[in-house]
Structure 1
Amino acid sequence: MTSLIQGADKTRLSIYIAAGVGVVTASSLAYFYKRYRDNYIPPKEWKKVGELTDLICYPVKSCGPVRVNSIHCSKIGLESNLMRDRIFMVVRTDGEFITGRQHPKMVLVQPSFQGNIMKLSAPGMIDVEVDVERLKKLSPITTRVWDQPVKTVDCGEEVARWFSRYILAEDFGLRLMYYPHDEATRDVKPVNKMYSSMLKEDTGALHDATSFMLLNESSIADLNTRLQNPVSVLNFRPNFLVKGPAAFEEDNWKWVKIGEEVIFRCNKPCTRCIFTNVDPETAKRSPDGNPLSTLKGYRQFSRLGKTPVMGVHLGLRQSGIMSLGDFVYIGV
Structure 2
Amino acid sequence: NKFNKRMVIYETSDQATLSSRDAVYFLLVHLCTKISEVSFRIKMPLDDFGTRCSVLLATGVGLASATGYGLYKYLANYWDNQPPQKWRQVGELADLYIYPIKSCGAIRVSHMDCTIIGPKLGLLRDRIFMVTRTDGTYICARTFPKLLLIQPSFDEQYEQMTLSAPGMPDIIVPVADLFSVDPVKAWVWGQPVTATDCSEELARWISRFVLNEESGLRLVFYPLDIPTRPVRERQHVKLTARDTGALHNSTSFMLLTEASVGDLNRRLQKPVTAQQFRPNFVVKGPGAFEEDDWKWIKIGETVYRNVKPCNRCSVITVDPETGIRSNENEPMKTLKTFRMKPGLETPVMGMQMGIRTEGTVRLGNAVYVGY
The verdict on a shared fold, with TM-score over 0.5 as the criterion, is: yes
Residue correspondence of structure 1 range 51-66 to structure 2 within 5 A: 51-66=92-107
1:155 corresponds, among 173, 187, 198, to: 198
* Superposition TM-score, scaled by structure 2 size: 0.85
> Aligned letter for 1:308?
P
State whether structure 2 residue 94 is matched by structure 1 residue 44.
no
> Aligned letter for 2:123?
L
Aligned residue number for residue 217 of structure 1? 258
State whether structure 2 residue 317 is matched by structure 1 residue 274.
no
Structure 1 residue 3, shift from structure 2 partner: 4.7
The 3 A distance-change label for structure 1 pair 3 and 92 is closer
2:348 corresponds, among 309, 318, 327, to: 309
| Whole-angstrom CA distance in 1 between matches of 2:135 and 2:71 | 45
1:137 corresponds, among 177, 180, 195, to: 180
| Whole-angstrom CA distance in 1 between matches of 2:188 and 2:236 | 20
| Whole-angstrom CA distance in 1 between matches of 2:199 and 2:52 | 71
1:7 corresponds, among 46, 49, 52, to: 49
Q: How many residues align?
A: 326
Secondary structure of residue in 2 paired with 1:303: coil
| Whole-angstrom CA distance in 1 between matches of 2:255 and 2:354 | 11
> Deviations 1:219-248 (Å, cap 9, x if unpaired)?
000000010000011110000000011101
State whether structure 2 residue 124 is matched by structure 1 residue 83.
yes
| Whole-angstrom CA distance in 1 between matches of 2:179 and 2:193 | 16
State whether structure 2 residue 72 is matched by structure 1 residue 22.
no
Structure 1 residue 4, shift from structure 2 partner: 5.6
Deviates more, 1:27-36 or 1:309-318: 27-36
The 3 A distance-change label for structure 1 pair 140 and 35 is farther
State whether structure 2 residue 133 is matched by structure 1 residue 109.
no
Secondary structure of residue in 1 paired with 2:100: coil
> Deviations 1:131-173 (Å, cap 9, x if unpaired)?
1111111232331101111111111111011101110111111
Aligned residue number for residue 128 of structure 1? 171
Unaligned runs of 5+ in 2: 1-43
Unaligned runs of 5+ in 1: none
Secondary structure of residue in 1 paired with 2:181: coil
2:207 corresponds, among 133, 153, 164, to: 164
Structure 1 residue 194, shift from structure 2 partner: 1.5
Aligned residue number for residue 137 of structure 2? 96
Residue correspondence of structure 1 range 256-271 to structure 2 within 5 A: 256-259=297-300, 261-271=301-311
> Deviations 1:180-203 (Å, cap 9, x if unpaired)?
1111111111xx211221101001
> Aligned letter for 2:361?
M
Q: RMSD between aligned alpha carbons?
A: 1.3
Secondary structure of residue in 2 paired with 1:302: coil
Secondary structure of residue in 1 paired with 2:180: coil
> Aligned letter for 1:80?
L
1:243 corresponds, among 284, 288, 308, to: 284
Aligned residue number for residue 69 of structure 1? 110
> Aligned letter for 1:288?
E
Identity of aligned pairs, percent? 49
The 3 A distance-change label for structure 1 pair 18 and 138 is farther
| Whole-angstrom CA distance in 2 between matches of 1:253 and 1:224 | 23
| Whole-angstrom CA distance in 1 between matches of 2:45 and 2:254 | 69
